[in-house]
Copies of this chain bind each other. A is one copy, B any other.
Amino acid sequence: MKRRKTRQISLGGVKIGGNAPVVVQTMTTTNPRDVRRSVEQILRVEKAGAEIVRVAVPDMKAAGALKEIKKKINIPLVADIHYDYRLALMALAQGVDGIRINPGNIGKKERVESIVKAARELSIPIRIGVNAGSLEEDILLKYNCRPTAEALVESALRYVKLFNEMGFEDIKLSLKSSDVMTTVQAYRMISKEVDYPLHLGVTEAGTTLIGSIKSAVAMGILLSEGIGDTIRVSLTADPVEEVRAAYEILKALGLRKRGLNLVSCPSCGRAEIDVIPLTEKVEEGLRDIVTPITVAVMGCVVNGPGEAKEADIGIAGGKGVGLLFKKGKKAAKIKESEMAESLIKEVLQSAMGKGI
């Protein structure tokens, strides 16, 4: 997979674009004015692997709490700004690492310019974050009131031009639609126009499963075409789920490694052990490991020994027993009742050896 060449920006020390790995980010569901809950949530997403976190800034009170939040967290903080440019200025004064503005609702040119000036002085990058649900009226009208890919691109390029006229290049772009193929099309088009790093996302994608599937389809297509430098999976769910889904997508594409790579059979009429509850237990028990490790849970002899051998650690079911494989070699015979516990123990020991 050849990645498209983009300029690199640095957001609070995290590199995005260029030859940097695809960065995983998320957004809190909290209001920053509730510092305690916001920090608690951010520390949880950090643990899950979030590399950047964004917070909504609905008003001045929220903006004024950002310094306090920033002190207590360990990853770069981005302020999400809509409507009022003064919220951006306040967020910058509070020391945030990045700003996201929405061309669709930030208003007059002079107001945008004042944000760009302040960001330039502080060397803080800005994401131009276009969203199909909130395009500028004149652009919507031009495209028959439909938020098409072309409309999203036009909105983004208008702001890029304005930023460039001011000599500001510390830019990241996103063009999100809740429609997967519109999103894909918009990113394909913008990637031919500019070389700024791209933040991928399907907006308002839905609950955990549906939203993860939509995001995986869009990001799978785009990243396989080399497009995309950082991703956010938008889910109507706890943001920890967004981070987990993001890593699963990147792991599937071979772009990042982290924690459990689970290989488990769908348990057909041939299975000789009860695969579904066993796999669920193993997944639950290994959810928080960070060291990359492939674990296979297989119900029968058709693909069982083959997959179990390919994995770092695997179990292949037989009649009431399982064969445990470690690094491709049979290591033990285990009773069905002890499989979950044994497998989890083996994996944790192995991961420990590698440093978590």
Which residues of the partner chain B approach A296 to less than 8 Å between Cβ atoms? Answer: 178, 204
Which of these binds chain B: A108-116, A160-168, A249-257, A336-344? A249-257
Chain copies in the assembled complex = 2
A149 to chain B minimum Cβ distance, whole angstroms, is 13
Which of B30, B207, B264, B302 meets A264, CB within 8 Å?
Answer: B207
Q: Does chain B have a CB within 8 A of A312?
A: no
- Judged by DSSP, the binding face of A is mixed
Q: Does chain B have a CB within 8 A of A213?
A: yes
The answer to whether A234 and B266 have CB atoms under 8 Å apart is: yes
Interface positions of A from 31 to 68, Cβ below 8 Å from B = 31-32, 38, 55-58, 62
A: contact size bracket? 35 or more
- Interface residue ranges, A against B (CB under 8 Å): 1, 27-32, 38, 55-58, 62, 80, 82, 102, 105, 131-135, 147, 178, 180-181, 184, 203-214, 216-221, 224, 234-237, 239, 242, 245, 248-249, 252-254, 262-271, 275-276, 279-280, 283, 296-298, 302-307, 310
Other A-B pairs, 17, CB within 8 Å; known A55-B268, A210-B262: A55-B269, A105-B302, A131-B302, A132-B306, A147-B310, A178-B263, A180-B252, A204-B264, A209-B212, A213-B252, A217-B252, A218-B220, A218-B252, A220-B221, A234-B266, A236-B276, A236-B279
